[in-house]
Amino acid sequence: MTEIRDDARPAPVDPAQERITTEGPVYTVTGGDWDTFLDDEHDDRIVINMGPQHPSTHGVLRLVLELEGETVTQARSVIGYLHTGIEKNCEYRTWTQGVTFVTRMDYLAPLFNETAYCLGVEKLLGIEAPRRATVARVLLMELNRIGSHLVCLATGGMELGALTGMTAGFREREEVLHLLEFLTGLRMNHAFIRPGGLAQDFPEGWAEKVTDFIAVMRSRLPDYDKLLTGQPIWRNRLEGVGYLPLDGCLALGATGPILRSAGLPWDLRKVEPYCGYEEYDFEVPTATEADCFARYRLRVAEMHESLKIVEQAVAKMEPGPVMVDDRKVAWPAQLSVGGDGMGNSLEHVRKIMGQSMESLIHHFKLVTEGFAVPAGQVYACVESPRGELGYHLVSDGGTRPLRVHVREPSFVNLQTMPAMSEGGMVADVIAAVASIDPVMGGVDR
């Protein structure tokens, strides 16, 4: 039998081992009492990582929080976990193919990315989409705005414990996605808006479907006021939290509901109208409280206004083409999808093949090589659900962009997170991030 001596026993493990990282000293607690851990030797502020896999960070966002007890003394965001290189990829695709990339940036507002990008390309080309296509773009964007705001309310409710708000929000969002799938063929990442107009016209019966959707949403939106707006727990959780006044918004470049919650009615649909928004009758909701509750109320109010715009768009829709009548740009020209929803219909193929050989060669070259865009640069912007979404496009006269750079509102608005969170409680960071409503696909691109 081997004798175990006292001096052979392993040394006791330090319950708070320290290691130095780029964020400062990190202590790994392996056991023992909390009071023992917080002795004079380790009387430092605690640095914790929230994310990047945390369910309350709206995607793969990492928040480095420095705490003093429950109070946040410093907050920093670490991004890049979802980087896809979309802007760079656009330089290696034709101008039309770029639509399939940009629609995947802010995946909750794909139609806004498509519209802003196409408006920029059309400015460089010196063309305008037909009126029917322009009205259809407005209709699609406002439907998309409703769906995006519903996700914001639903995920924010889930993160703050209002699970019924989450189930109701996603229930209504399904109505939006079903309608968008009927109109464009896809629930998300549509690539339906193309330079020069639309990929194809709306299917038969679209007006009735949209009208039915408006009726359903107008019956359900008041439920959010009953469920959340007047709920004492919800109000106490959001009122006075994430405060960011107007001067802070302007200094940090915030736009969208964050800026309007501080009292400035800045909405590109009103101040710099595009797609004929000056013809539509709608209001720009604002507030002065500049807190999370004000941003929540604004998004609910904006959904009501979007329904008004959609209703007017249905009335304004006139018969006509949905793509410019320029065969050097119009691709795909009068696309007709097959009965299975996959690929071109046989009638469309026969039409292409039945024309002259020159027409077939032109169609082939237009699809494979694309069209040339005059040299120059342009900035085109729209009012997305999160604020000003702008595209800076540079052309060298070729069939591909020389540069595509996006002013993404989620990326800019994320700068407001420390200003909203520092000095508050850890739990209020969740509410602040939810009120910013960042989409990491747009932040990282």
Query: Quick check: 383 pLDDT over 80?
Result: yes
- pTM for this model (two decimals): 0.84
**Nearest-angstrom CA–CA distance, 290 and 307:** 25
Residue appearing with tokens 């009387």: 43
From the centroid of its chain, how far is CA 244?
A: 21
Distances (CA, A) of 428 to 154, 156, 160: 17, 12, 9
| Tens-place pLDDT, residues 115-156 | 999 999 999 988 888 999 999 999 999 999 999 999 999 988
Query: Quick check: 67 pLDDT over 60?
Result: yes
**Nearest-angstrom CA–CA distance, 245 and 262:** 6
The runs of H, that is alpha helices, within 91-230 are: 98-102, 110-125, 131-159, 163-184, 206-220, 222-224
Query: Quick check: 113 pLDDT over 90?
Result: yes
| Tens-place pLDDT, residues 166-202 | 888 889 999 999 999 988 888 888 888 998 888 888 8
DSSP 440: H
From the centroid of its chain, how far is CA 142?
A: 13
Window from 330-339, 390-399, 419-428 with minimum mean pLDDT: 330-339
Q: What is the torsional sign of CA 252, 258, 259, 261?
A: negative
Segments making up each domain of the chain, as ranges: 13-78, 86-331+370-444
Could you name the CATH architecture of 86-331+370-444?
Answer: Orthogonal Bundle (1.10)
Window from 64-78, 358-372, 388-402 with minimum mean pLDDT: 358-372
| Tens-place pLDDT, residues 276-290 | 899 999 999 999 888
| Tens-place pLDDT, residues 303-320 | 999 999 999 999 988 888
What is the separation, in whole angstroms, between the first and last Cα of the chain? 66
